[in-house]
Amino acid sequence: MYYTEKEIEVRYAETDKMDVVYHANYLIWFEVARTDFIAKAGFSYADMEKDDLISPVLDINVKYKRSITYPEKITIKTWIHAYSKLKTVYAYEVIKENGQIAATGKTTHVVLKKGSDRPIRLDRYYPEWHAKYMEFVAMGEL
């Protein structure tokens, strides 16, 4: 299975009154890790947007297992859980410095032309991207 790892230093501003990371910050971390995954695969959200395409989140799921506090460092492991020409599901593990999994999650995405609500096929607009993701799928035997 192909995966990437992105280290994040927890900022004080990300904590709540209980001195733990506020739950919504995990969604931001997922985006940071997903963007890192895409960049390490050789592609760019910014380039996609220059082509008037966007990739919104259709669904998100997070399971919180352990608290994270400031000033911990965490690592987010990211991989493709499922892929088709129209939809990509990314999976995540948020791992504490001691190796414990603090959270797991998944995000589901499609690619749209700006102003449209109809998904486009990644293989038609970005054949190299599609081929790379198919390679990742083959590595992970999804």
pLDDT of res. 140: 78
In this predicted structure, the answer to whether residue 142 has a pLDDT above a threshold of 70 is no
Preceding amide of 127 cis, omega within 30: no
| pLDDT tens readout for residues 40-94 | 999 999 999 999 999 999 999 999 999 999 999 999 999 999 999 999 999 999 9
Q: Which residues pair with 61 in a beta bridge?
A: 106
The catalytic residue positions are 16
- CATH class belonging to 3-139: alpha beta
Q: Structural domain boundaries of the chain?
A: 3-139
Alpha helices in the chain (DSSP H): 25-40, 45-50, 122-125, 127-140
What is the bridge-based pairing of β-strands 53-54 and 101-109? unpaired
pLDDT band for position 141 (cuts 50, 70, 90): low
